[in-house]
Amino acid sequence: MRSVSNQCLLMQIQPTILRFAKMLASVLQLEVEIVDADMVRVAGTGPYGKFFGRQLEGDSRLLRYVIDNQREKIVTHTSDDPVCDGCTCKESCRERAFLGVPIMVDERCIGVISLVAFSDEQQARLNNNLQDVCDYVRHISTIFVAKLLDSRGLSDGVNKVFLNLMTNMDQGCLLLDDKSQLLYANEAALHHLGCQQEQLQGREVGIRPLTFSQQGLSGHLQHIITFEGRQELIIGQLHHVQGQQLFLMAFHQSHSGQVQEPDPDVRIDQLIGESKPMRTLKRLLHRIAQSPSSVLICGESGTGKEVVARAVHRLSPRQDKPFIAINCAAIPEQLLESELFGYVKGSFTGASSGGKQGLIQAAHQGTLFLDEIGDMPLTMQAKLLRVLELREVTPIGASRPVPVDIRIIAATHQHLDQYIAEGKFREDLYYRINVIPLNLPPLREREGDVELLTHYFLNLHTSRIGIVYPGLAPEVMALLKGYRWPGNVRELSNLIEYLVNVSQAGEVIDASLLPPNIIRNQEPHRVTAQSIPVTNLDAAFNVPAAAPLAAMSEKLPESVPGESGLESMEKQMIEETLQRLGNKKLAAQALGIGIATLYRKIKKYEIAVQS
Ligand SMILES: Nc1ncnc2c1ncn2[C@@H]1O[C@H](COP(=O)(O)OP(=O)(O)OP(=O)(O)O)[C@@H](O)[C@H]1O
Ligand SMILES: [Mg+2]
């Protein structure tokens, strides 16, 4: 029989598990679902990012298989797997590939961590690295469970205290259930939304972020709040707690016309980077900050466009005035106009009764940051152009324009010249905003910055979650430097946050914690002699197809620790190679496996290694 306390354990610390699931999904770029032994969804991402705390409907045979057999299940092509035969959901199933790893506590399975591929790309990513990913998740799940057990003993009965706290808070606060229906709104929240408790109680309320990058340490973002056919833009933090959503509103709302607090996170010295292109950029920022001319920041996703926009604002004479950010791609067309231009009382159905100031006016004497400008609809582009030419704005329904003094900083990861050629972007607007063009180089072109940023994020994320700064093994740094970083600085930040979360307190982060894709996708020419103290590096990072251990591992798709004869052969082979070569990197090379896989296997088989 399964123990009730173990099931409770997973749900009790659901926020921790959800955070872990999201981070795991982000570093492996696959969807994650975590269920307990009763098939209750504890956490998940993508299509599995809802209905937490509810028992899964339908067969879910693969998860059931992992729980019943207490062992991994790997499926490369879901519809072909015998376990899926006769499944009632087979026709509608969108899962392409699946990997499920049991969460074992005291030799019992208390749940499953599963990775699921929905697209061709995800399927290829999972299938190309199956054994590595499987080893990796098993390894991470062991560490993770150890952490969980440490955090057992959470107190019950916090709910009353929590409710009392919300009622008496000066900060606006909304609590939604797992169906996004309002459970509770305090007075301050009702005031910001301009409505009564009775209007909202039990009604569906939508909350979603408008811009995706964080505004400093507080994590405050602009959110679109949708209710009763109305939409409001409110700044706040959205937390997911045990399947519920808790939205904490900031005291100062940008469109209430109040000046925002200067953001402590965006000073120029927090724009990390000492590589040549970054030093040049920083010098340029100091110069251009003084001017009121429009700036267009171009760069791949995650290169820090918003960080640069904020730095320009902070360096400018407008630093004490508002910095208003709007993500043109995230906001629906109808809402974009009313948010940017504002409206007067009674100008359209659904408008709040008092009218509302637009963001352009709210940014008066400050900076308006138009993120993802390439996605601004053409009609809005024309209206924005008028504002820039005339330096005045006419709120919807108003009879007279209002003069405004704003500096525009726009950003895009698109190629706007191509958009112009395709008729998706107005050429005249392009010339208006592209007075000062800034191009942010991708991280892979910033020599030396990966190391600086890694230390910066280690500091940042450990202080955010209040833990001791962990050490980083030299191999890890070498591997981080040799990776291509397609998701740029954001990808690095996400990875470090994840590593800080999964590492054991006080322990050095070693290569075994690195996700397999970082190890596999090394760019040999980027790994220099200084970055890793071993010769013949290209070979060390490229797994030869016929390498003995790699070939052997491929024959072991579902190995059970401690049971297989092949595993003891594997252990022997590793021990022998390590002894012979006396160096882990050379041994990994000789065995034809990645260094991180070697670390995992050393841990798994408890092989003693001389340092
Ligand atoms: N040079 C940097 N120094 C410190 N942190 C940085 C730097 N560049 C980016 N970041 C961090 O990386 C993350 C992504 O940055 P940002 O949101 O500015 O990127 P972006 O180019 O706007 O990305 P996207 O195109 O996806 O919107 C943020 O968390 C930001 O704080
Ligand atoms: Mg951005």
For 92-133, the pLDDT digits (tens) are 788 889 999 999 887 888 899 999 999 999 999 888 888 888
d(CA 381, CA 375): 10
Minimum CA distance residue for ligand 1 atom 17: 213
Does residue 305 have its Cβ closer than 6 Å to ligand 1?
A: yes
Domains of the chain, start order:
2-151 (3.30.450.40), 160-249 (3.30.450.20), 276-440 (3.40.50.300), 443-510 (1.10.8.60), 528-611 (1.10.10.60)
Question: What does the pLDDT average to over 46-74?
Answer: 89
How many whole angstroms from 305 Cα to the centroid of ligand 1? 6
pLDDT band at 346 (very low <50, low <70, confident <90, very high): low
Please state whether beta strands 436-440 and 295-299 pair in parallel, antiparallel, or not at all (unpaired).
parallel
- Residue 546, SS3 per DSSP: coil
pLDDT of residue 168: 74
The ligand 1 atom at the shortest distance from the C-alpha of residue 449 is: 1
d(CA 264, CA 282): 18
Residues paired with 522 in a beta bridge = 483
Query: Is the whole-model pTM more than 0.75?
Result: no
Name the average pLDDT for the chain: 80
Among all ligands shown, which has an atom nearest to the Cα of 299?
1
Q: Is 300 exposed, middle or buried (0-12, 13-18, 19+ CB in 10 A)?
A: middle
Terminal C-alpha separation, the chain: 45
pLDDT of residue 470: 77
pLDDT of residue 356: 79
d(CA 559, CA 135): 10
Does residue 253 have its Cβ closer than 6 Å to ligand 1?
A: no
The string of pLDDT tens digits covering residues 423-477 is 999 999 999 999 999 999 999 999 999 999 998 998 888 877 777 777 888 889 9
How many whole angstroms from 413 Cα to the centroid of ligand 1? 12
pLDDT band at 366 (very low <50, low <70, confident <90, very high): very high
Tokens 């940023």 sit on residue: 453
d(CA 482, CA 595): 13
Q: Which of 52, 51, 45, 49 is nearest to 13 (CA)?
A: 52
Does residue 374 have its Cβ closer than 6 Å to ligand 1?
A: no
3-state secondary structure 11-62: HHCHHHHHHHHHHHHHHHCCEEEEEECCCEEEEECHHHCCCCCCECCCCCHH
The string of pLDDT tens digits covering residues 375-413 is 999 999 999 999 999 999 999 888 899 999 999 999 999
Does residue 306 have its Cβ closer than 6 Å to ligand 1?
A: yes
Does residue 489 have its Cβ closer than 6 Å to ligand 1?
A: yes
Instruction: Report the chain's C-alpha Rg in angstroms.
Output: 27
pLDDT of residue 270: 74
How many whole angstroms from 490 Cα to the centroid of ligand 2? 10
Percent of the chain with pLDDT over 70: 82
Minimum CA distance residue for ligand 1 atom 10: 304
pLDDT of residue 554: 38
| pLDDT reading at 231 higher than 70 | yes
Minimum CA distance residue for ligand 1 atom 13: 490
Our CA dihedral for 594, 123, 498, 485, rounded to 10 degrees, sits at 70
pLDDT of residue 525: 52
The ligand 1 atom at the shortest distance from the C-alpha of residue 297 is: 21
Q: Which of 241, 239, 218, 230 is nearest to 192 (CA)?
A: 230
Does residue 307 have its Cβ closer than 6 Å to ligand 1?
A: yes
- Residue 175, SS3 per DSSP: strand
Residue 73 φ then ψ, to 5°: -135, 125
Question: What does the pLDDT average to over 39-63?
Answer: 89
How many whole angstroms from 516 Cα to the centroid of ligand 2? 27
Does residue 503 have its Cβ closer than 6 Å to ligand 1?
A: no
Minimum CA distance residue for ligand 1 atom 24: 301
How many whole angstroms from 385 Cα to the centroid of ligand 2? 22
| pLDDT reading at 565 higher than 70 | no
Our CA dihedral for 348, 349, 352, 353, rounded to 10 degrees, sits at 80
Does residue 271 have its Cβ closer than 6 Å to ligand 1?
A: yes
pLDDT of residue 219: 57
pLDDT of residue 558: 37
Cα 432 to Cα 299, 388, 415, distances in angstroms? 19, 8, 16
The string of pLDDT tens digits covering residues 286-301 is 999 999 999 999 999 9
Does residue 497 have its Cβ closer than 6 Å to ligand 1?
A: no
How many whole angstroms from 384 Cα to the centroid of ligand 2? 20
3-state secondary structure 386-455: HHHHHCEECCECCCCCEECCCEEEEEECCCHHHHHHCCCCCHHHHHHHCCEEEEECCHHHCCCHHHHHHH
Minimum CA distance residue for ligand 1 atom 8: 304
The string of pLDDT tens digits covering residues 296-335 is 999 999 999 999 999 999 999 999 999 999 888 887 887 8
d(CA 438, CA 488): 17
